[in-house]
Amino acid sequence: MLMNVEMWGAVWSALASLVFLWPMLQNHVPAGLRHWLTAMADKLASHLSPYLHITISEYGDHRFRRSDFFLAVEAYLSHACARRARRLKADLGRDARSVQVSVDDHQEVTDSFRGATLWWYPSSKSNKSSVISFYPGEDERRFYRLVFHRRHRDLVLDGCLPHVLAEGRAVTVRNRQRRLFTNNASTSWNPYRRGKGVWSHVPFEHPVSFDTLAMDPGDKDAIVDDLVAFRDGKDYYARVGKPWKRGYLLYGPPGTGKSTMIAAMANFLDYDVCDLELTAVKNNTELRKLYIETTGKSIIVIEDIDCSIDLTGKRKKASGDNKASDGGGEGSDDKPKLPTEADRDDGGSKVTLSGLLNFIDGLWSACGGDRIIIFTTNHKEKQDPALIRRGRMVVHIEMSYCGFEAFKVLASNYLGVEQHELLGDIRRLLEEADMSPADVAENLMPMSKRKKRDPDACLAGLVEALNMAKEEAQANKAAKEKEEMKAKEQATTNGEDEGKDKMPSEEYKANGDI
Ligand SMILES: Nc1ncnc2c1ncn2[C@@H]1O[C@H](COP(=O)(O)OP(=O)(O)OP(=O)(O)O)[C@@H](O)[C@H]1O
Ligand SMILES: [Mg+2]
C-alpha cells in the first residue's frame, strides 16, 4: 500500500514538473515528437479526468457553411448565460433599439441543466499550418467547448444539446434584426474568417409597406395572397415534393417601383434581403457558395439582370462576337447572352447561364429553408427565355407607369389628399401620358419650403408636368411616324431604282439562278 502511495506520488510529481517545464521545453522538442507528446498527454488526461468534452465548430466538418448548431449555441449563450460571464461583447439588437450582449471568446461560462453543472468555453484556434493558405487571413477557427462530468453523458446528449438547439433557434428568431446582405468581391472571400462569410450585411431599414406602395389594388392583393401562400406553405411544398422557394420576375420601365416592391415584400414577410451583385461573382462554384450561405427566410435579389450580364468582360466579348457575326451594332436588338458552358473554359472565371439556372433550381437550391428569388429587369423581352420561363420565375409582375389607382395611393401618402377638384384632370392625363410613380412622387414632394405640403400647389404642378409629358410624347410619336414614313418612301424609291437599273440577266445572276 505504502509502495503504491509512493509510486503515485512520484508519478504526480513527474507530471507536475512536466507541466511546469513544458512551455520551455516545447521550443526544443521536434514537431513530430511534440505532437505525439501532446496526443499522449490528452489521452492520459482523458483517462484520469472524469470530465467529457464536446466541441462545436463554426464550420463543422464540411466547412461549406456555418454550422447551424454553432449559431444556435452562440444565441443560447448570449441569452441564457451571458450575464454570468465576466467578459462580454455588446452590439445593437433588433431594429437597432436594444443592446444585445454575448459571451466574449475564452470566457468560461457556467451553466446548469436539470441539476447537472456544465461549462461552456467559447474559443478560437489559430491555424498555424506552414502551408500557404489559399484564403488570405485564414487564421482562426471558432468553436465552443462544452465540458461536463461523465455521469451526465446521457443527460447532455439526449436532453441538454437538443434543448440548447431549440432555445438558441428561438432566441435567434426573437432577436432577429432583418439584414440587407451584399456579396463580397471574390478576392476577399474567406469563409473561416471570424463572423465573416461570403456576404456582408447592414441592418435592413427600408420603411415601405404594401400600404404605401402605389399600384393597382387588385394586383397588390394578388401579390400579397401569393406571398402568404408561400410563407405558410412549408407542408404543402413538402407534400408535393418541391423545394420551398419561389421565383419572381419584376419588370417594367425605370422608376416604376421594382426595388420598392422588393423592400415591401421583405417587410411584409419579415425576411432578410440578399442583394446579389452578379458581376462580383467569379464563377459558378462561388455562386453556389453564395446560395448555400444564405439562410432561410431570405429574399435573394438580382437587380437589372440584363445590365449585370452586359457588365462582365466575357459576356461583352461573347455578345460582341455575336454582333460582329450578325452584322449588328451598338444599338442592335440582340439579346444579351450569358456565356455557354463551352465559353467557361477559357479562363473559367465567369458565371454561366447554366450556373445561374442551377442557382435558381438545381439540386443545391433545395438546401436550407424558405427562399424567394427575385430578378428585376427593364427589358423582359431581352431575357434568355430559359432564365425566366414560368416554372423557374413562377410569378411575373409588371410594374408599369402610374395609373390613377396608384396615383391615389401616392396622393394619400404624400399629401393626405383623398378628394380634390384636380383629380379628374389628373385621371385623364395619366391615361394620355406615361409617367412613372417615381416622377409622380417627385411632383408630390416639392423640396422648396414655400410649397411644402401645399396640396393645391403640388397637384397643379403635377398637372403641368403631365401636360408637358403628354406634349413631349405626342411630339416624339409624330417624329417617329415621320421617320418611319420617310424610311418607307426611301425603300420604295430604292426598290424602283434597282428595278430600273438591273438588266434581267443581272437579276438572274444575283439570285444565283444562272
Ligand atoms: N409603385 C411605387 N409606389 C411608391 N413609390 C414608388 C413606386 N414606384 C416608385 N416609387 C418611388 O420612386 C423611387 C424609385 O423607385 P424604384 O427604385 O423602386 O424604381 P425601380 O423600378 O426599381 O427603378 P429602376 O428600374 O431604375 O431600378 C422610390 O424611391 C419610390 O419612392
Ligand atoms: Mg430598381
> Could you state, in order of their start, the residue ranges of all structural domains in the chain?
40-126+137-177, 182-324+337-398, 404-500
Q: Which atom of ligand 1 is nearest to the CA of 441?
A: 11
- Verify whether ligand 1 is closer than 6 Å to residue 197 (CB atom): no
**Among the CATH numbers 3.40.50.300, 1.10.645.10, 1.20.810.10, 3.10.20.10, which is that of 182-324+337-398?**
3.40.50.300
Neighbour count for residue 329 (Cβ, 10 Å): 9
Q: Which residues pair with 369 in a beta bridge?
A: none
Residue nearest to atom 25 of ligand 1 (CA): 254
Q: For residue 400, give the ligand nearest its CA.
A: 1
- Verify whether ligand 1 is closer than 6 Å to residue 259 (CB atom): yes
What is the DSSP secondary structure assignment for residue 191, as one 8-state letter?
T
Distance 279 CA to ligand 1 centre (A): 23
Distance 255 CA to ligand 1 centre (A): 4
Q: Which residues contact 415 (CB under 8 A, 6 or more apart)?
A: 444, 453, 455, 458, 459
Distance 117 CA to ligand 2 centre (A): 54
Q: Which residues contact 67 (CB under 8 A, 6 or more apart)?
A: 56, 57, 58, 59, 60
- Verify whether ligand 1 is closer than 6 Å to residue 100 (CB atom): no
- Verify whether ligand 1 is closer than 6 Å to residue 215 (CB atom): yes
Distance 262 CA to ligand 2 centre (A): 9
- Verify whether ligand 1 is closer than 6 Å to residue 441 (CB atom): yes
One digit per residue, the tens of pLDDT, for the chain of length 514 reads 445 556 666 766 776 676 667 667 667 777 787 778 777 877 777 677 888 989 998 876 655 667 888 888 988 888 777 667 777 777 766 555 667 777 777 778 888 899 999 999 888 876 555 444 444 445 567 889 999 998 999 999 999 999 999 998 888 877 777 889 998 765 544 444 434 457 888 889 899 999 999 999 999 999 999 999 999 999 999 999 888 999 999 999 999 999 999 999 999 999 999 999 888 888 888 888 888 888 888 999 999 887 765 433 444 444 444 433 333 333 334 444 554 444 444 444 478 888 888 888 878 777 777 899 999 999 888 888 888 887 788 899 999 999 999 999 999 999 988 888 999 999 999 999 899 999 999 988 865 555 566 888 889 999 999 999 999 988 988 899 899 899 888 888 877 666 555 544 444 344 433 3
Nearest to 405 by CA among 380, 423, 432: 423
437 phi and psi angles, rounded to 5 deg: -55, -30
| Prediction ipTM score | 0.98
Q: For residue 208, give the ligand nearest its CA.
A: 1
**Ramachandran region, residue 401 (left: φ > 0; alpha: ψ -120 to 50; beta: rest):** beta
- Verify whether ligand 1 is closer than 6 Å to residue 440 (CB atom): no
Query: CA-to-CA distance for 512 and 514, rounded, in angstroms?
Result: 6
| Residue 435 near residue 402 (C-beta atoms within 8 A) | yes
- Verify whether ligand 1 is closer than 6 Å to residue 437 (CB atom): yes
Grid cell listed for 274: 440578399
**What is the radius of gyration, based on Cα positions, of the chain?**
33
User: Please, what is the angle between helix 423-432 and helix 404-415, to 10°?
Assistant: 130
Query: CA-to-CA distance for 71 and 176, rounded, in angstroms?
Result: 12
Q: Which residues pair with 299 in a beta bridge?
A: 273, 372
| Best mutation site among 249, 256, 262 for ligand 1 pocket (most ligand atoms within 8 Å of CB) | 256
Grid cell listed for 124: 478560437
Give the containing element (helix H, strand E) for 15: helix 2-25
Query: CA-to-CA distance for 278 and 249, rounded, in angstroms?
Result: 16
Query: CA-to-CA distance for 499 and 256, rounded, in angstroms?
Result: 50
